[in-house]
Structure 1
Amino acid sequence: MNFSKHWAATLDDYAIDLAWSPDGKILAAASTAGTVSLFEAATGALRHALVGHDDGTNALSWSATGVLLATGGQDGKVKFWNPSSGSLAHEYLLGTAWVEHLAWQPVKRDQVSAISGQLLFASAGKKLVALRADGSLAHAFPDAPKTITALAWRADGAACAVAYFGGVCVWDATTFAVQKEFPYGNTIHALTWSPDGKWLVAGCQDNAVHLWVPSEDNEFHMSGYETKLKELSFSHDGKWLATGGGKDGCVWDCSGAGPEGREPMMLPHQHRVCAVAFQHQHSLLATAATNGEFCLWSPSRKNPLVAEVKMPSAATRFTWVPDDSLLAVGTEKGNIFVFKTA
């Protein structure tokens, strides 16, 4: 496999979020200063510099067709942008707290032509709302018990899990009713579903990974990490779960009965792992450490290391383009690097 730098760019501050458009032609990059930059995937040329949010932008999410880019910021607003023109289409004031998490409802590829009902879930403080593509409010949920710390849609788009100190609530996307509630006695920093919806996984403040099997009301717990857990990623087939939480990346085998009682594959780094991301359709895993190094791995190989790169500062975000041919990396110093795989 060939792995090489495709292009690079520099933001005006820390790269807090990255997101590829669904067609893979545009990379959106948000800086903590507030600006949202739209880059051409082929050349790295800047298509638009959106003004973003006063005091800072926190999160990005593309609609299924790519006709809208949603952003959330420290001004308490959710903004809907037209990426073709760079103009603001709609905005919604969620409150005085920062909008830290937002995610469009997943839509199956054969349904993309009929997504007028696609919802955007957004949170600020304890507040959670479902917004329509025209910026109007579809539903305001009851306040969470504590500040919302993570959102994760199930891959079928039928439910969204919402984490806060003390647990997780799974909301139905059609009725807006509670499907499940899972108590947990600590802060949850990260949340993800396995692609088949079997596993709901949390990265936790108490140096642990916690897994639920919602369909069976069953749960598992893996503790003993060096640090709190903020990094989670499932492989496209749901077999492998990659985590950070220390100087080694950990890859757990989630096939069959799951990872409990199994030894994880350890992927060594010189410093604490700060980002992990599996490809969407293939088997490569990217992991990064706080000293600026990042690695590509193929967990199914006897010698899993595929490539190693050193950057000038630590990665803040990884994002693979939908067809996995490009990997975008954002860093603490605002650098954006896009690498090509072939």
Structure 2
Amino acid sequence: MNIDLQTKNIVKTKLEQRGNEYKIKAPVTGSVVLNNAVVASFGDGSLRFFGLNQEPFEVKAHKGVILTMSSNGQFVYTGGDDGKFLKISCDGQINEIYNFGSQWVDCVASTENYFACSSGKKAYLWVKDDSKPLIMDNSSTVGGLSFDLDGNKLAVSSYGGVTVWQRGDRRWKSSRFVWKGSHGKVTFSPDGKYLVSAMQENEVHGWRIRDKIDLAMAGYPAKIKSFTWAGNTPFLVTSGASEAICWPFDGKEGPLGRKPTCVANGGKQNATFVENLPQENAVFAGFQDGSVVLSEIDETKKSYLVRNATGSEVTAISISNDKSHILIGDAMGNILWSPLWAGDN
């Protein structure tokens, strides 16, 4: 249901008071940062670009749901259920990279020199300005794609584990990280020492890359739809519980044998989306009811409500590169675009 905050007896948060609210007639399926703008994707195939000191503008990109998106800072890459893999510039110019016809584009990833997508059991990797992709076969449907920070490794998750492709002098070489179950979203730690995936079985699994030691992070009551790296430790912050679950990845063993820090309590609501506050030891957690909380990663500190409940789960949170603005979106198409700090325009 749509809840109009103007007509309900709700005290707006300071973030809501400063910002603008938009009601789009399509679910928000994701958001990414592009320069100092934030780009949101929607279930009707459209993108909306939210920039500083300007009204958001719309680009009709796909003829169906935008299933996945990524940004390398210069372009947005999108995949949809119309089978198209697209590259879109900051002014909304669209370039079709590949058309898979009736097959969905399930995952995309990008870095400065490479971009990739998946459709079915195959992952496709393009070198910048090269029209022909490297095709990577998998035994089952690809669940997630992610480059490391250097852009020299590509993780491809599927049933039974994750395959990491590493760029060599003459070709890309693969290494398999095995763990039984269905693997989805995947990420490298900021220092490149660990590999982590979210599983269909309501758990997170990781590996220390140098020796492939297993790191099982289980006990979640719900599926982990979102994770992010936060703080200097760093922490892997995950959704899937009534709090943001923060696993420490410092030291020689990372989270092995250690308990997570749990912050941003949502009561009876499970977190559906988490996003770090850049350069801070803090995280935003969005919940099933549409509310969003900001918390330091410290169980002794108080959390702050930054967005009231809308009646629909949070599906996107992004912070502009200069940390001046935040975008929050949910599954009913409600968008909050707001200055993050008092005094910013």
TM band (smaller chain): 0.7 to 0.9
**Aligned mate of 1:269, from 259, 263, 266:** 266
Residue number in structure 2 paired with 1:94: 100
Q: For the Cα contact (< 8 Å) 1:283–1:299, is it kept in 2?
A: yes
Q: Offset of 1:34 from its aligned partner? A: 0.8
TM-score after normalising by structure 2: 0.86
Change in CA separation of 1:299 and 1:54 when aligned onto 2, cut-off 3 Å: same
Q: Secondary structure at the match of 1:295?
A: strand
**Preserved contact between residue 281 and residue 323 of structure 1 (Cα < 8 Å):** no
| Alignment-mate amino acid for residue 36 of structure 1 | L
Cα 1:265/1:69, change in 2 over 3 Å: closer
Indicate if the aligned counterparts of 2:329 and 2:335 stay in contact, CA closer than 8 A: yes
| Number of positions where the alignment pairs a residue of Structure 1 with one of Structure 2 | 322
* 183-192 or 93-102, which deviates more: 93-102
- C-alpha spacing 1:210/1:309, structure 2 compared with 1 (3 Å): same
Alignment of 1:115-264 (within 5 A): 118-134=113-129, 136-141=131-136, 143-173=137-167, 176-256=171-251, 257-264=253-260
Counterpart for residue 329 of structure 1? 328
The list of structure 1 runs, each at least 4 consecutive aligned residues, that deviate by more than 4 angstroms after superposition, is 132-135
Distance 2:299 2:140 in 1: 43
- For residue 238 of structure 1, report the CA deviation from its aligned partner: 4.4
The structural deviation recorded for 1:208 is 1.7
Distance in 1 (CA, whole Å) between partners of 2:100 and 2:130 is 11
What's the offset of the Cα at 1:307?
A: 3.8
Distance 1:87 1:207, change over 3 A: closer
Between the aligned partners of 1:273 and 1:302, the Cα distance in structure 2 is: 20
User: Are residues 1:61 and 2:70 paired?
Assistant: yes
Partner of 1:341: 340
Retained in 2: the 8 A contact 1:90–1:135?
Answer: no
Shift of the alpha carbon at 1:296?
0.4
Residue from 71, 80, 88 that aligns with 2:78? 71
> Where do residues 16-27 of structure 1 align in structure 2 (5 Å cutoff)?
16-21=29-34, 23-24=35-36, 26-27=37-38
1:98-117 equivalences under 5 Å are 98-105=104-111, 107=112
Any unmatched runs of 5+ in structure 2? 1-12
Contact 1:195 1:236 in 2 (8 A): no
Q: CA deviation at 1:176?
A: 4.9
Aligned position for 2:56:
46
1:198 and 1:89 mapped to 2: Cα distance?
A: 35
- Mapped to 2, the partners of 1:255 and 1:193 lie a distance apart of 14
Offset, 1:3: 5.7
